[in-house]
Chains A and B, each alone.
Chain A
Amino acid sequence: MSLLEVRNLTVEFATSAGQFRAVEGVDVTLDKGEVLAIVGESGSGKSVSMLAVMGLLPWTATITADRMAFEGRDLREITPAERRKIIGKDIAMIFQEPMSSLNPCFTVGFQIKEALRQHLGLDRKARHNRAIELFEQVGIPAPEKRLNVFPHQMSGGMNQRVMIAMAIACNPKVLIADEPTTALDVTIQAQILDLLLELREKNGMALALITHDMGVVAETAERVAVHYAGQKVEEQPVAGLFGRPYHPYTAALLAALPERATSRILPTIPGVVPGQFDRPAGCLFAPRCAHASAICQTRPPLPRGADEGHARCHTPLLPDGKTVAAPIEEVSQ
């Protein structure tokens, strides 16, 4: 049994211009001690899909899924009281925007101690000691002094570390880390990632890591899911994804890395991601895809098998990474 299992998750928002589908048919499986990275286009529903699992989306969101289970129990069927015991404790999240998720009116020390009080029922002294220990673990200098400062008195990266300390405070079984290290320099980033991997070793914590940093993905993750326009378009073990991507979007994303650049002008993907009103009838990536054929314009592709990276694609890339086989339907015509 997986620790976290989500099947066919779809999230729609009610907007003044009508329903907007932010997540479409996404599956997430996370086993004990596993590290899954989620990458992809800005606005492709990475954060929203995880916020849906946490139950933290606003009321304008409509969530549907065939299954959304933690330790075998569907999160939508348990009582609010049971839910509060799980969310924030067993499943914790490091939010993408630390500034907007810390309360500006309270010191950071108060906020972390409050979380410890609610979930673990520690006494005053134990809370204080644990808070200092956590601040040390995430590399906050002079932790004792920092407990008494307000979020606006610290730099962006320091607030991000406070958020991380709060998320790991109760030793979660699943940690969803949404861009946990974007505001940090690489030595601190390395320290934080080591800390998260250590928690995995020690407690069997599973980690879902949302990031744009492909270097972090390559060095931290075991499995990688690639999102585009609300869908998961590919999922592979990390070596396969970097070595032999099947979906043209994945390949284009990797080609855009400055690290792989051969000239000052970098390769980019032409066009923009489809909006609410110009969602294509077929493959969502087709309008920007160098390999799209007739069928891609009209029929939405289904995910392929694991041997082809679960790619949502009619024309997955061949090993040379440049060409595709003709789609089966066209050959048989």
Chain B
Amino acid sequence: MSEQIVTARNLARHYEVKQGFLSAPATVRALSDVSFDLRPGQTLAVVGESGCGKSTLARLVTMIEEPTGGELRIKGEAVTRDHWASLRSSVQIVFQDPYGSLNPRQRISTILQEPLKINRPDMSAEERDRLAREKLALVGLRPEHYDRFPHMFSGGQRQRISIARALMLDPAILVLDEPISALDVSIQSQILNLLVELQERLGLAYLFISHDLSVVRHFCDDVIVMYLGRVVEQGPSKEVFANPRHPYTKALISATPRAVPGSGRKRIKLQGELPSPMDLIEGCPFAPRCWRVTDQCRKSRPELSGGAHGIACYNPED
């Protein structure tokens, strides 16, 4: 389908890690069997516990790393190493840490122009300068900020600078790896508003990684819920939040704290051990912590099924 700007089919990324001098290397299955489509103007959220492979997925989509399995297509082209250079400018990433991701010794002007210097070496200095100033204005910063250093900005302003830098090459896709979790609520909403506005104006597609389900619910069209490197539930965010079917999704939603003191809600408490991605698990990865577990779940892994709102579970909630 030409309408999709990103298609991922059964993406996987496994790492070999050494465990001491003598023992055989172990395999970390950071990501397995992830499939999704992303259209222009659409926001796809990826949620899930820490270490479930969200950043790994972000690194594959931004071509920082190569998948060890599956297929990734961007703008209809298969993503292979020899296509990286030509495709890379269409996908840009914004990282969580607004402090660490900007070089403290470079002025904002230099930071913004750098992607152009690398990817468009033929562009004139005047043109680079003009584009950098244009993007600075686009993210709501002022012309006098142009020659300042990163430490002179607040966390929210730095995150705007990171977004401006990501927009320098006019990407079609922005990967946002927890872009707002380090920021206070009022700045979070500024950044979210900025992203909404940019999406409406430029038709950007977002892959939005977040731990904050109240933000995902507010902001995203579709959602992927991952557990230990695999998708356990996937579908339109409205439906997934209204009718979560995988027990892990249900636990996530029920554990999301609400800004209402003394609401005295009951949340689902997960018992049991969190498996390590180094273990080879036969059954459902969530089985050791699941309250609906049966023998079948321990023996074989349920596949993702169910069409538009898919779940990987033998005994889903109804």
Chain A interface residues (CB < 8 Å from chain B): 39-43, 139-142, 145-146, 148, 153-158, 160, 179, 182-191, 194, 212-220, 238-239, 241-243, 252-254, 256-261, 264-269, 272-273, 275
Quick one: closest A residue to B213, CB to CB?
A: A186
Q: How far is the CA of A213 from the CA of B256 in the complex (A)?
A: 10
Which of B49, B188, B215, B252 is A157 in contact with, Cβ under 8 Å? B49
In the complex, are the beta carbons of B274 and A139 less than 8 A apart?
A: yes
Taking a contact as CB atoms under 8 Å apart, the answer to whether B257 and A213 are in contact is yes
A177 to chain B, nearest CB (A): 15
| Further 20 A-B residue pairs, CB within 8 A, beyond A42-B183, A186-B257, A258-B189 | A41-B186, A140-B274, A148-B20, A154-B51, A156-B50, A157-B50, A183-B178, A185-B50, A185-B252, A191-B269, A212-B181, A212-B183, A212-B188, A213-B212, A218-B263, A242-B259, A243-B261, A259-B218, A268-B189, A268-B193
Are A188 and B50 within 8 A (Cβ)?
yes
A184 to chain B, nearest CB (A): 5
A279 to chain B, nearest CB (A): 14
Please list the 9 inter-chain residue pairs (A to B) with the smallest Cβ-Cβ separation, ordered nearest first.
A157-B50, A215-B257, A266-B189, A185-B49, A258-B218, A42-B155, A155-B51, A141-B274, A186-B255
Residue B154 interfacial (CB < 8 Å): yes
A41 contacts which chain B residues (CB < 8 A)? 184, 186-187
A187 and B252 contact, Cβ closer than 8 Å, known pairs A155-B50, A253-B185: yes
A sample of 24 inter-chain contacts (CB < 8 A) reads A40-B184, A41-B186, A42-B156, A43-B155, A142-B276, A155-B55, A156-B50, A182-B181, A184-B211, A186-B211, A189-B257, A190-B255, A191-B269, A213-B257, A218-B257, A218-B260, A218-B261, A239-B261, A242-B260, A256-B189, A257-B185, A258-B217, A259-B259, A266-B193
| Contact partner, A258, options B96, B215, B257, B275, Cβ 8 Å | B215
Q: Is B182 an interface residue (CB 8 A)?
A: yes
Contact (Cβ within 8 A) A272 B192: no
A142 touching B279 by the CB < 8 A rule?
Answer: yes
Smallest CB–CB gap between B29 and chain A, Å? Answer: 14
Contact in complex: B186, A269 (CB < 8 Å)? yes
- The interface bits of chain B over 60-97 (1 if a CB of A lies within 8 angstroms of the residue's CB, else 0) are 00000000000000000000000000000000000010
A278 to chain B, nearest CB (A): 12
Interface core residue of A141, A186, A213, A254 (most chain B CB under 10 Å): A186
- What is the CB-to-nearest-CB distance from A22 to chain B, in angstroms, rounded to a whole number? 13
Query: What is the CA–CA distance of A267 and B187 in the complex, to the nearest angstrom?
Result: 10
User: Which residues 146-166 of B have a CB within 8 angstroms of A?
Assistant: 152, 154-157
- Given A40-B184, A141-B273, A253-B186, answer yes or no on A158-B50 (Cβ-Cβ < 8 Å): yes
Interface readout for B235-273 with A: 1 if CB under 8 Å, 0 if not? Answer: 000000000000000011001111111110001011001
**Known A-B contacts A158-B51, A272-B154; A214 and B185 likewise in contact (beta carbons under 8 Å):** yes
Q: CA of A112 to CA of B215 in the docked complex: distance in angstroms?
A: 35
Number of interface residues of B (CB under 8 A): 58
Q: Is the CB of B258 within 8 A of A186?
A: no
Beta-carbon contact of B196 and A185 below 8 Å = no
Give the chain A neighbours of B218 by CB distance below 8 A.
Answer: 258-259, 261, 264, 266
Which B residue's beta carbon lies closest to that of A153? B17
CB-CB nearest in chain A for B218: A258
Residue B106 is within 8 A (CB to CB) of chain A in the complex: no
Question: What's the Cα separation between A182 and B196 when bound, in Å?
Answer: 23
Q: How far is the CA of A313 from the CA of B256 in the complex (A)?
A: 33
In the bound complex, residues from chain A placing their C-beta under 8 Å from that of B184 are 39-42, 212, 253
B141 to chain A, nearest CB (A): 10
Residues from chain B with a CB closer than 8 A to the CB of A217 are: 259
* Cross-interface CB contact of A141 among B185, B187, B276, cutoff 8 Å: B276
State whether A256 and B51 are in contact (beta carbons under 8 Å apart), knowing that A183-B181, A186-B213 are contacts in the complex.
no
Task: Report which B residues bind A (CB closer than 8 A).
Answer: 17, 19-20, 47-52, 55, 96, 152, 154-157, 178, 181-190, 192-193, 196, 211-215, 217-219, 251-252, 255-263, 267, 269-270, 273-276, 278-279
CB closest chain-A residue, reference B52: A185
| CB-nearest residue of chain B to A275 | B152
Of B183, B189, B257, B263, which one neighbours A216 at CB under 8 angstroms?
B257
Q: Are B189 and A264 in contact (CB under 8 A)?
A: no
CB distance from A201 to the nearest CB of B (A): 16
Residues in A neighbouring B260, C-beta threshold 8 A? 218, 242
B186 touches A256 (CB 8 A): yes
Tell me the complex Cα distance, A275–B142, Å: 15
A185, closest chain B residue (CB): B49
**In the assembled complex, how far is the CB of residue A18 from the closest CB belonging to chain B, in whole angstroms?**
13
Residues of A within 8 A of B157 (CB): 272
Least distance between A155 CB and chain B CB atoms (Å): 4
Closest to A216 in B: B257
Given contacts A256-B185, A258-B218, contact A145 B258 (CB under 8 A): no
The answer to whether A142 and B186 touch across the interface, beta carbons within 8 angstroms, is no
Q: Please name all residues of chain A whose beta carbon is closer than 8 Å to the beta carbon of B154 when the two chains form the complex.
A: 42-43, 272-273
CA distance A21 to B233 in the complex (A): 48
Bound-complex Cα distance A179 to B178 (A):
15
Which chain B residues border A275 with CB–CB below 8 Å? 152
CB distance from A321 to the nearest CB of B (A): 15
Assembled-state Cα–Cα distance A148/B181 (Å): 29
Say yes or no: B259 contacts A188, CB within 8 Å.
no
Residues of A near B17 (CB, < 8 A) are 153
